[in-house]
Amino acid sequence: MFKRYFTCSVIVWVSISAFSCSNRNNKPVIKFSRDSTSIIIKNIDEASLLQVKNAYHNKADTINMMSVLIKPGDKDSIQDEQEVPGKIEIKGDSLVFSPDQPFLRGKEYLVESYIGVKFATVGDLILGKGNQNLKAQQQTLKR
C-alpha cells in the first residue's frame, strides 16, 4: 500500500515539475527601439542566444535570423509584403535590426523570427501535442 502511494506521488511530482518548467510564457519580445530607428528582439533564453551568437560569428553577412516586411496598406496598389533590407547585430542579450532606410511613419511592419521557437515542451511531448513543423513568432509593429 505504501509502495503504491509513494509511486503515485512521485509520478504526480514529476508531472507537476514538467508542466511548471515549460517556457510557454518566455517568448522573445519583439518591439521598436525608443526612437523607432531599429527593431529589437529581447528576452531570448540562454540556449537560443548561444545559438544565435554562434551562427552570427560563423557567417554574419548571410545570416537570416529574422525578417522584417512592410505590410501593404488598404490603399496600396501593391498587395504583397516587401522585405525591408537592413543589418542585424547582437548587442548584449538582444538582437537588433537596423534598416538601410528609416522606417516610415504610418506603416505597419511584420517581424518574423524563429529565435526561441521550440518544437514542443516536455508537457506537450507527454500529452502528444508536438508539432511537426515550427511556426515563426510573428509581431506586427506600427510606426
CA distance 92 to 106: 30
**Residue 78 falls in which region: left (phi positive, over 0), alpha (psi -120 to 50) or beta:** beta
Model pLDDT, residue 19? 45
Q: Write the pLDDT tens digit of every residue in 46-92.
A: 888 888 888 888 875 555 678 999 988 776 666 788 899 999 888 98
- Rounded mean pLDDT, 31-36: 92
Q: Which residues pair with 71 in a beta bridge?
A: 108
- Rounded-to-integer distance, Cα 103 and Cα 110, Å: 12
User: Which CATH number describes the domain made up of 23-142?
Assistant: 2.60.40
Please say whether the beta carbons of 83 and 67 come within 8 A: yes
- Mean pLDDT for the stretch of residues 27-56: 89
Percent pLDDT > 90 in the chain is: 24
Domain spans of the chain, in order of start: 23-142
For 42, the enclosing helix (H) or strand (E) is strand 39-42
pLDDT at residue number 17: 47
Does an H or E element contain 52, and which? helix 46-58
Residue 44 has pLDDT above 80, yes or no: yes
Q: How many CB atoms lie within 10 A of CB 63?
A: 16
Instruction: Please give the Cα distance from 123 to 130 (Å, whole number).
Output: 9
Give the DSSP H/E element, type plus range, for residue 68. strand 66-71
pTM of this prediction?
0.68
Q: For residues 38-52, b (16+ Cβ closer than 10 Å) or e, as one string?
A: bbbbeebbeebbeeb
- pLDDT > 70 in the chain, percent: 64
